[in-house]
A = this chain, B = another copy of it.
Amino acid sequence: MAYHWRQKVLFKHCDPAGIVFFPRYYMMINDCVEAFFFDVLHYPFEEFHKEAAGVPTAQMETTFHAPSRHGDWLDFALQPLRIGRTSLDYGLVATSDSERRLSAKATLVHIKNYVPDPWPQDVRDKISEMIGDEK
């Protein structure tokens, strides 16, 4: 089952052509991941960053299917795909009124004190469940 997160396209997101400027989609993706960690994993960015942990992105592949305009509502669906000892692969699709705007696949890594660190067990369990549901 995917996690859904919504974002309205605001003035600040748009470029002189009146559409979302692509680097700003990555800010939205990060906000979506941050909300996922808070809402679903109950492992908030604001907590673990205090303890020298983090989840930097190691890889990201993105396809931009169609432009998004100011005022559009975007639905981001984040689906965990694979969990490693310290990594997480996820897929993400953003749609507006069911038109696909972008799709992405990314890998992030759980680190502590700058080195990869195993996921906390309860986080791993919740992610595994979401992957299992999908299969």
Contact = CB atoms under 8 A, between A and B. Distances in A.
Interface stretch (A14-22, A80-88, A125-133): A14-22
Interface in A1-50: 9-12, 14-19, 21-24, 26-27, 29-31, 34, 44-47, 49
A46 B71 contact: yes
Contact of A17 (B21, B54, B67): B54
B57 A11 contact: no
A14 B15 contact: yes
B57 A70 contact: no
Interface residues of A, number: 40
28 contacts: A10-B31, A10-B34, A10-B45, A11-B21, A11-B46, A12-B21, A12-B23, A12-B27, A12-B30, A14-B15, A16-B49, A17-B54, A18-B49, A19-B56, A23-B26, A23-B27, A23-B29, A45-B71, A46-B70, A56-B64, A58-B64, A59-B61, A59-B62, A60-B60, A60-B61, A60-B62, A61-B61, A67-B114
